[in-house]
Amino acid sequence: MLPQRRSLADYRLIVFDMDSTLINVECIDELAACVGRAAEVAALTDAAMRDPSIPYDDSLRARVRCLRGLPLADVHRTYEQRVAFNPGARELVAHARGLGLRTALVSGGFAEFAEPVRQALGIDYMVCNRLQAADGLLTGELVGTLINAREKANALQALCDQLHCPTADAIAVGDGSNDLGMMALAGVAVGYRAKPVVRQRAHVLIDHGSLQRLASMLGGQAASGRGTESR
């Protein structure tokens, strides 16, 4: 169940995960394919999902090391050739902005993908991981704070503090376990094509079709088509 039935216009902030939420791919999988290490990265991801004792930070750093030597030009080319926005992403962000909400992209993905996504959608704030490069090649390391579930939650809290609003006035949209912290803080947690662990905790699920259905759900109107429900 939604904590309180409110319209989208009653909220102050909407925070989006990026990979498989705003966009159709997982950044690191696409980049790993460029260096012929997609299977290795997939195995590392699968191991971390199956074994909770493997720290997320260690797993991510191991996967990023697989990208060592990839030219930045190929990173940018991969974005241009492989990334598409999920249905309704543009429309939902534009609608939220039109209603006066501030928008944020908070992602464990990489700035080389996140920045063009932010610009294309007109998103106000961005928090993401940053790949280190030297002489035009990825070093296989990250720069600065590693963005994990804790940092995603911290980002939502910091944005609410900046906007002088309670976290109950924020909406968090995501699909995976790294989104659970910020979802727990937000007034509304939205699972978009969500993993089972997110499905158990989300207030709203969008399983098929357009992200824009969220506007109908929070407007108190019947959502058209299959795949949207509230809890």
Residue ranges per domain, the chain? 8-23+84-217
pLDDT level of residue 3 (50, 70, 90 thresholds)? low
Average pLDDT, the chain: 93
65: exposed, middle or buried (C-beta count within 10 Å: 0-12, 13-18, 19+)? middle
Give the residue, 2 or 72, on which the prediction is more confident: 72
Give the residue, 39 or 231, on which the prediction is more confident: 39
Tell me how far apart the alpha carbons of residues 226 and 206 are, in angstroms, rounded to a whole number: 9
> Is 17 among the residues known to form the active site?
yes
> Locate tokens 């990334």: which residue?
83
Q: Which CATH code for domain 8-23+84-217?
A: 3.40.50.1000
Tally helices (H) and strands (E) across the chain. 10, 8
pLDDT level of residue 6 (50, 70, 90 thresholds)? confident
Of 10, 17, 46, 58, the active-site residue reads 17
User: Alpha helix locations (H) across 2-148?
Assistant: 27-34, 38-50, 56-65, 72-82, 89-98, 111-121
Task: DSSP for 208-224, please give it.
Answer: SS-TTHHHHHHTTSPPP
pLDDT for residue 174: 98
Task: Supply the pTM of this predicted model.
Answer: 0.92
State the average pLDDT over residues 110-136.
98
> Are the CB atoms for 142 and 129 separated by under 8 Å?
yes
pLDDT for residue 218: 86
> Is 179 among the residues known to form the active site?
no
Q: Is the pLDDT of residue 231 over 90?
A: no
pLDDT for residue 224: 35
Of 10, 19, 74, 161, the active-site residue reads 19
Q: Is the pLDDT of residue 2 over 70?
A: no
Question: Strand, helix or coil at 230?
Answer: strand
Q: Is the pLDDT of residue 221 over 60?
A: no
> Locate tokens 């499905």: which residue?
199
pLDDT level of residue 4 (50, 70, 90 thresholds)? low
Task: DSSP for 31-60, please give it.
Answer: HHHHTT-HHHHHHHHHHHHH-TTS-HHHHH
